Amino acid sequence: MNIVILGSGNVATHLGRAFKMAGQSIVQVWSRNIDHAKELADTIGSEAVSDIDDLYTSADLYIIAVSDDAIRSVARQLKVGDKLIVHTSGSTPLEALDGVSEHTGVFYPLQTFSSNKAVDFRQIPIAIEANTPEDLAVIRSIADRLSERVKELNSSQRKALHVAAVLACNFTNHLYALSQELLEANNLDFDLIRPLIAETAGKINLNEPKAVQTGPAIRNDRGIIKSHLEMLKDQPDVYEIYEKLSQSIVNLHKRSQG
């Protein structure tokens, strides 16, 4: 199986490394910036390309792993006939590749990729989609080599999965950052709160989050909420987040009580 990766960012890099570790070589890596293409290509024993017309036209799969707003334009520059072309975006519909090839699909690894941290790809869910059952089978066979958790999702489900990941991952990380900022403004070390973060995340491995919600909002402890808001009054950003999330905890509780 000959695979070409278009892109050199975090997703392209982690995918490239995962393929290499799974014994699947990537024949070419394309990036507009040749240095970026080389950086990834060198680590995975591949060939770097910066002119998109220099790509082999005979590969079995072209993976477009670029930023969401660049997918369409990169796809349209790709002149490889009716080869199988996939993108790796959570929130871009399959239709974004319409007209580019008869054979299109999606290969979306759900993970928070930071360039400096290795991940265990076997546990990363990969959401796949394709125009035809045959293309889906090809995509699935490739995805199965990387992960034990391959799942067919339509574009609307995949987008819901992406939004859910933004809530549970990107936003929680930002709350960690706000928490650190507040601690440091009070001469406290972020280490004080790291065990709590681990416990909070660990707890939902075996529990439903709403069953283990704790804190002033779920207790409807208005005195404490008011005193916390008072402490945050000079940081309108955090103040509003505190207020909205506290209200949302109460609202979800009401919905659950039905």
> With binding defined as CB under 8 A, does residue 73 bind a copy of itself?
no
Enumerate residues 6-35 that contact a copy of itself by CB under 8 A.
Answer: 10
Give residues with Cβ within 8 angstroms of 184, minimum separation 6.
190
**What are residue 112's phi and psi, to 5 degrees?**
-100, 100
Beta carbon of residue 56, minimum distance to a copy of itself (angstroms, whole number): 30
* Site map (CB under 8 A) of a copy of itself, residues 193-212, x = contact: xxxxxxxxxxxxx-xxxx-x
Residue 108 CB, nearest approach to a copy of itself (Å) = 11
Q: Does 188 bind a copy of itself (CB under 8 A)?
A: yes
250 CB contacts (<8 Å, ≥6 apart)?
217, 218, 220
Tell me if 136 contacts a copy of itself by CB under 8 A. no
Q: Does residue 214 interact with a copy of itself by CB under 8 A? A: yes
State the binding string over 149-178 for a copy of itself (x if CB under 8 A, else -): x-x-x--xx-xxxxxxxxxxxxxxxxxxxx
x/- track of binding to a copy of itself for residues 88-107 (CB under 8 A): ---x----------------
Query: Nearest 10 degrees: CA dihedral of 172, 175, 180, 186?
Result: -150
> How many angstroms separate the CA atoms of 231 and 211, rounded?
28
- Contact (CB, 8 A) for 29 and 44: yes
DSSP three-state, residue 202: helix
3-state helix, strand, coil in the chain (%, to 5): 55, 15, 35
Q: At 43, which amino acid appears?
A: T
Is the Cβ of residue 55 or residue 249 nearer to a copy of itself in the bound state?
Answer: 249
| Residue 238 lies near a copy of itself (rule: CB under 8 A) | yes
Q: Measure the CA–CA gap between 199 and 195, rounded to whole angstroms.
A: 6
Residue 215 found at the interface with a copy of itself (CB under 8 A): yes
| Member of 123, 134, 137, 141 binding a copy of itself (CB under 8 A) | 123
Q: Is residue 67 a contact residue for a copy of itself (CB under 8 A)?
A: yes
